[in-house]
Amino acid sequence: MANKEYTKEDLTVLWDSSKCIHSGIWAKGLPEVFKPKDRPWVQMENSDSESIAEQVRKCPSGALSIK
Ligand code: SF4
């Protein structure tokens, strides 16, 4: 079950920590949005919805998903 939600106008990203395998793919692919060292570490305002959604789809574990 997702334990974090990140939203911008038309997009809600869910993160389920129990599924995350810490691949780091998200930060490598869209570092302006996915910032593991920052809080919040998902900054949806830093990119457009399509780019974020595209990166979310690359998560290998399904920890990241789109609502
Ligand atoms: S891409 Fe998915 S598995 Fe990799 S660190 Fe991010 S949430 Fe975790």
Complete DSSP assignment for 56-67: HTT-SSS-EEE-
Residues near 54 by beta carbon (within 8 Å), at least 6 away in sequence: none
CA of 51 from ligand 1 middle (Å) equals 16
CB burial of 15-51 (b: ≥16 within 10 Å; e: otherwise) equals bbeeeeeeeebbbeebeebbbeeeeeebbbeebeeee
Statement: the pTM of the whole predicted model exceeds 0.85: yes
Which residue ranges in the chain fall short of pLDDT 50?
A: none
CA of 15 from ligand 1 middle (Å) equals 9
CATH topology of domain 4-66: Alpha-Beta Plaits (3.30.70)
pLDDT of residue 58: 93
